[in-house]
Amino acid sequence: MAYTSNVMIVRHKLLANLVKLWNEKQLVEKIDRLPIELSPRRSKTLGRCCPHKERAVWKYKCFPLLGFDMTDEEDEVDLLSKYAKKALEREAPNKENLMCVIDEACTSCVQINYEVSNLCRGCVARSCYTNCPKDAISFQKNGQAQINHDTCVSCGICHKSCPYHAIVYIPVPCEEACPVKAISKDEYGIESIDESKCIYCGKCLKACPFGAIFEISQAFDVLQSIRRGEEVIAIIAPSILGQFKTTIDQVYGAFKQIGFTDVIEVAQGAMDTTSNEAHELLEKLEEGQPFMTTSCCPSYIELVNKHIPEMKPFVSSTGSPMYYTARIARKKYPNAKIVFVGPCIGKRQEIRRDEEVDMILTFEEVGAIFKGMDIELEQAPEYKMVFNSVREAHGFALNGGVMGAVKAYLGKDAGKVNGIEVADLNRKNITMLRSYAKSKKAPGQFIEVMTCEGGCISGPSAYNDIVSGRRQLSQQLTKVKETYEERG
């Protein structure tokens, strides 16, 4: 795994340990000792006061990995084994919220946004003092300013007023990363996610330096379905090509070793998305609609539904690749559990609108499952796909991939379409999309919108890092020989 931070190492290590216990049929029996084994009494903890605090963090980080959150704790003295038992006994995932904040881990974050640094010269102008609307600025004996944080409302006027830039802004990483202001501190100073605003982009999860933000996992629901002997089908997103450093046939073989009944590439469904979206685009333009956006990114759909309702008429009605692939799988396996596997948190919300997909696994979770079950990818038997999807369908994983596929499908008619890409739903790009919707004008007739910078390959729950993932995916795409052009 190409780790980009210790947070990823910790999350991967914890889930892998839980899966190992599950695989040995010892999850309930041994889970209570796991925090102690991970943080022994005399271990040194970086950033924590003591091993006991670290153990508490380990304990509560197990909650979302088992499919729970902090509100599910009935009594603080309850052991982890109680929740592990519940996780193994439930028949299906049952949480309403998709994400949660581990309060034990979140308490380490900054509680203030503005602070006076030692660059303060104790100047005569005292612009910070004279402009503060709450009289929160006072002065020490040496003339340096200080902020009374009980009075300060973090308006930032002092920060803007200081001629020496001596007052620094200290951002809260998750709040700064969220493009729709869906996360903020509650009365206890703990971050809280407002899912009525959240678009499930996962930017907060990636930004939190304490690893306090988790998605509610369904990993053990999937594993238990397999253990019960049910048919479980993995439908795997195109970005799988950029995740694991071995042949794709061996990766699919490793999925079979986990116990999946069959593996189907979502790239197969992407071909249906491509053809339907291409025809819809031409029809909309002929009807006089000024532009149309793509519809396969679930976080973008959440953005439109919750924050830019004016954009709804311009969003394609075509289903996502997951949508079409799930129906392919359901036709072949009518009684199976269908599990989407990808790098995306937003898909957890999309499956609530799609009755054909039962559960979600992320690439990050899959990597931990491989580790916990001692599955060596390089030694896995190859499992080849029966259906060969075109290169452009696999290219959905990269920004520009959907547009490229549609244009390749249109062939000679592609010249009629002027397209633009929006490959990062940050605040600037959201403002731009809102202006398109309100003015009913855009610089392109076809707008591809992806939440993640670089496309799905850099999703918040990817296994590989964005640079390595893009490089590997691009290399793998060259090995896919069949294209729309060759198919004619």
Q: In the numeric block, which tokens belong to residue 23?
A: 């695989």
**Of the residues 191, 216, 241, which one is the last residue of a structural domain?**
216
If asked whether residues 270 and 296 sit together in one domain, one would say: yes
The answer to the question of residue 61 being in a domain is yes
- At which of 216, 242, 274 does a domain end? 216
Residues 291 and 315 in one domain: yes
Q: What CA–CA distance (Å, rounded) separates 476 from 471?
A: 9
| Residues 62 and 160 placed together within one structural domain of the fold | no
Same-domain status, 166 and 58: no
Judge whether 1 lies within some domain.
Answer: no
Q: Kindly state the tokens that stand for 74.
A: 């009935």
248 and 210 in a single domain? The answer is: no
Domain boundary among 190, 216, 242: 216
The verdict on 27 and 77 lying in the same domain is yes
Query: pLDDT under 70 in the chain at which residues?
Result: 1-4, 46-47, 487-488
Q: How far apart are CA 460 and CA 364, in angstroms?
A: 9
On whether the CB atoms of residues 273 and 320 are closer than 8 A, the answer is yes
CATH number at residue 367: 3.40.950.10
Pair 146, 30 in one domain: no
DSSP 43: -
Domains in the chain, number = 3
Specify whether 104 is located in the same domain as 145: no
39 lies in the same domain as 121:
no
Torsion angle, CA of 281/284/286/291, rounded to 10 degrees?
-80
Residues 437 and 375 in one domain: yes
Do residues 261 and 379 lie in contact, with contact meaning Cβ atoms separated by under 8 Å? no
Burial (CB < 10 A; 0-12, 13-18, 19+), residue 349, is buried
Domain span at residue 144 reads 114-171
Task: Lay out the sheet containing 292-293: strands in order across.
Answer: 292-293, 446-449, 419-422
Q: What is the b/e burial string over 241-262, where b = at least 16 CB atoms within 10 angstroms of the residue's CB?
A: bbbbeeebebbbbbbbbbbbeb
User: Nearest Cα to 340, choosing from 387, 86, 330, 331?
Assistant: 330
Look up the CATH number of the domain holding residue 179.
3.30.70.20
Same domain, 234 and 99: no
Q: How far apart are CA 128 and CA 412, in angstroms?
A: 63
Block residue for tokens 């986990």: 258
**Residue 186: its pLDDT value, please?**
86
**Whether residue 132 sits in one domain with residue 274:** no
In a domain, 296, yes or no: yes
Model pLDDT, residue 226: 98
> Helix-strand-coil percent breakdown of the chain, rounded to 5?
50, 10, 40
pLDDT score recorded for residue 488:
59
* Residue 222 located in a structural domain: no
So what's the pLDDT on residue 1?
Answer: 43
